[in-house]
Structure 1
Amino acid sequence: MKKSKPTVLVLGSFHMSEHKELLSEKRQAEIEEVVAKVIEFRPTKIAVEMTAEKNDLLNQQYREFKLGRFSIELNEIDQIGFQSASILGHDKLYAVDWMGKSRMGYGEVEQWLKENQPELHKEIYEGIFLPELTSNKSVLEYYRELNDPVWLAKVHKMYLNMARIGDFSNYIGMNWLSWWYERNLIIFSNLTRLMNSDSDRILFIVGCSHSAIITKFLEESEMCEIADPLGYLS
């Protein structure tokens, strides 16, 4: 008999703060549509992309929101996380992110690659694109694109191949990539700390660039079952 395990749904998101038009009545209704789809997963816990040391602040804001004393801000934590948790009657959310500091920024590594290994740059970034939220696309449709496993696999492949940037004496790509893997491993470890029962159903709302790597860590750990986000966004 197969042993029961906790279930995790990794919902890849975008940074809503970059889209002021989401405050319109039409877009707010579309966000409510996404929330309605997401809560069909019936999560028992909701984790978000906020650093763990801000967990108290996160939940102070959530408590104020439930009392009607905090206007949700234009970010995916408030718009999706707070609203979902409130509808489900959750007492709190969980901040599981970590930031630290990389030796080089992502932009610096990419610029070095362009200048020093143009052929590798072309190979790594070939076919890579970021879906856009256009006026004729609903927020739900956008979330479907951001959680498409084919696109997410391409993004994961791009990050992995950044390890090839540099040479035998100068591992340029690792100046950023080691921080990226450390961050996502810490997020993974924090998610596992929420798995206290086989009946736990954890919704993790995170930037879509994290989706594939964190899902792989969860799968390979064999600690939980993985829910397909598209199964709920359809």
Structure 2
Amino acid sequence: MRAVNGRFALALVATVLVASVAIAAPATDTQPDADFLFVGSFHMNNPGRDVHNTRADDVLSAKRQREIADVARLIARFKPTKIMVEADVASQAKLDQAFAASCHGKRPLTRNETEQLGFRIACDEKLNGVVAVDWNDMGPIKDEASVDWPKAIERHGQQAQRAKDDAIGKAVNDEDQRVLDTGTIGDMLVRLNSPEWLRANAQAYFRIGLYGTADDPIGANWDMLWYGRNLTIFNNIVRRTEPGDRVLVLYGAGHGNWLRQLATDSGKYRVQDTQRWLQEGAPTE
């Protein structure tokens, strides 16, 4: 009887060890099968929809066109197989028409970064076009008042905190403006994709999340909407990615934190160092 119990105990230990190994390395773990390069940009056509907006001069000027062509050349070394851009998914057909006309010299590029960088690189690399992956809706949020954090600031007397936060945001934006005014397009993109700028950007969204109260969490609601938008965009990117793809994502720089993080956490992508691809003489891999 004692021997039987001993064999049972050994078998139980072996089972536990096997289970532990399985937990440590689950069979569902995936290995990256595509490359991901995110290039965050300022909005070259000055839509003015952000809290703090950089005022871009005319990117169609001869000087800026030379700078954009130089940046496009550097990014093109990545050899993208697909270029994903900040355009609504529903606009794909219109985007395809504009790309075809521009690539064949029948239509000039507009001031939008989707065209100045996306169209330019796609045409030079002989791609069929760019891929629209944007989503900018309310999703399951039905009441816009539930995400109106400026109103929550008034409601809860948080104007002093808003003034402090605005001063921080203005300082970051002033430096953005200085770099753009005195430097090149390449200098600006290096800044917008730097760890320092991304950290400041992430902290800005953290501060928005604190507006309101525990019973009236308007700022947190807005951050949930922002995260949901980026998750939906990222899902659109994944759905258009195939094994072996080299995916270039050209987007507003404010999306950089979440889209890079999601690409890393997904396990699907080898996430590239953006600054490396924006600098002359940097290694290509």
TM-score by length of 1: 0.90
Q: For residue 23 of structure 1, give the secondary structure of its aligned residue in structure 2.
A: coil
Q: For residue 205 of structure 1, give the secondary structure of its aligned residue in structure 2.
A: strand
CA contact (8 A) 1:13 1:205 kept: yes
Q: Do residues 68 (structure 1) and 105 (structure 2) align? A: yes
- Corresponding position of 1:6: 34
- Corresponding position of 1:227: 272
5+ residue gaps, structure 2: 1-29, 47-55, 280-285
- Corresponding position of 1:117: 158
- Corresponding position of 1:195: 241
Q: Of residues 35, 38, 43 in structure 2, which corresponds to 1:15?
A: 43
5+ residue gaps, structure 1: none
Q: Of residues 243, 261, 280 in structure 2, which corresponds to 1:216?
A: 261
1:94-109 superposed matches below 5 A: 94-101=131-138, 103-104=144-145, 109=149
**Identity between Structure 1 and Structure 2 (%):** 27
Q: Do residues 92 (structure 1) and 129 (structure 2) align? A: yes
CA distance in 2, matches of 1:169, 1:127: 27
Q: For residue 135 of structure 1, give the secondary structure of its aligned residue in structure 2.
A: helix
Q: Do residues 140 (structure 1) and 186 (structure 2) align? A: yes
CA contact (8 A) 2:74 2:278 kept: yes
CA contact (8 A) 1:66 1:86 kept: yes
- Corresponding position of 2:114: 77
Measured against aligned partners, the alpha-carbon deviations of 1:148-183 in whole angstroms (never above 9, x if no partner) come to: 112112211221342222112211113422221111
- Corresponding position of 2:18: none
**Paired residues, number:** 231
Calculate the aligned-residue CA RMSD, in Å: 2.2
Aligned structure 1 segments of 4 or more residues deviating by more than 6 angstroms:
none
CA contact (8 A) 2:84 2:247 kept: yes
Paired AA for residue 209 in structure 1: G
Deviation of 1:226 after TM superposition, in Å, equals 0.5
Larger Rg computed on CA atoms: 2
CA distance in 2, matches of 1:155, 1:20: 23
Q: For residue 38 of structure 1, give the secondary structure of its aligned residue in structure 2.
A: helix
1:170-209 superposed matches below 5 A: 170-197=216-243, 199-209=244-254
CA distance in 2, matches of 1:38, 1:189: 23
Deviation of 1:104 after TM superposition, in Å, equals 4.8
* Structure having greater relative contact order (Cα 8 Å, sep ≥ 6): 1
CA distance in 2, matches of 1:71, 1:227: 31
